[in-house]
Homo-oligomer: A and B are copies of this chain.
Amino acid sequence: MSEETRLARLEQRVQWLTDQLAISQLIASYGPLVDAGDADGVAALWAEDGEYDVEGWHMRSRDDVRAMVRSDSHQEIINGGSCHFLGPAHVTVDGDDAVAVCDSILVRRRNGGFEIDRAGASHFVLKRLPEGWRVLRRTTRLLNGGVQARGLLEAGVRGRPL
């Protein structure tokens, strides 16, 4: 193989590794940002018109995501002590598009200890924008045995957008 071919191949693989890492890190920053109540930081993970569809709450822009973080219900959760704990994401990159999936639990301080309020599955559709990878659509469903969360998990691992 020529040096040129080897260089081009390396550049491609390093780009892919960098994309995988960028997306994993974006998802790993959601929990810390949302528990810190950093509304701008959370909103900036999404594209300007990105969506976050979570159990009856359908946000359709960065502004909507920002408003969720500032809402009374979210503020009550974080003021009482909360950990939005997301697991390691499984990420599938395809050029400028990507799909990721992870589990998450919401741990809340209660009765002197901590309890798990929710366990959910999250499916992410992401896009490479000029400013970097951003979430186009996150869909989160409770892991309650129903078909919705299962569909998210299966599509997510196989890299299929919803």
Each complex incorporates copies of this chain amounting to 3
- CB <8 Å contact, A116 and B121: no
Most buried by B among A14, A114, A121, A154: A114
- CB <8 Å contact, A88 and B90: no
- CB <8 Å contact, B109 and A117: no
How far apart are A113's CB and chain B's nearest CB, in angstroms? Answer: 6
Interface size class of A (residues with CB under 8 A): 35 or more
Interface residues, chain A, with chain B CB atoms under 8 Å away: 3-4, 6-7, 10-11, 13-14, 17-18, 20-21, 24-25, 27-29, 31-33, 35-38, 41, 78-91, 101-103, 105, 107, 109, 113-121, 142-146, 149-151, 153-154, 156-158
Give 17 new A-B contacts, CB below 8 A, not counting A17-B18, A81-B119, A82-B145: A10-B10, A24-B88, A25-B90, A25-B91, A29-B157, A31-B87, A32-B101, A32-B153, A33-B157, A35-B103, A38-B154, A81-B142, A81-B146, A85-B119, A109-B119, A114-B117, A116-B116
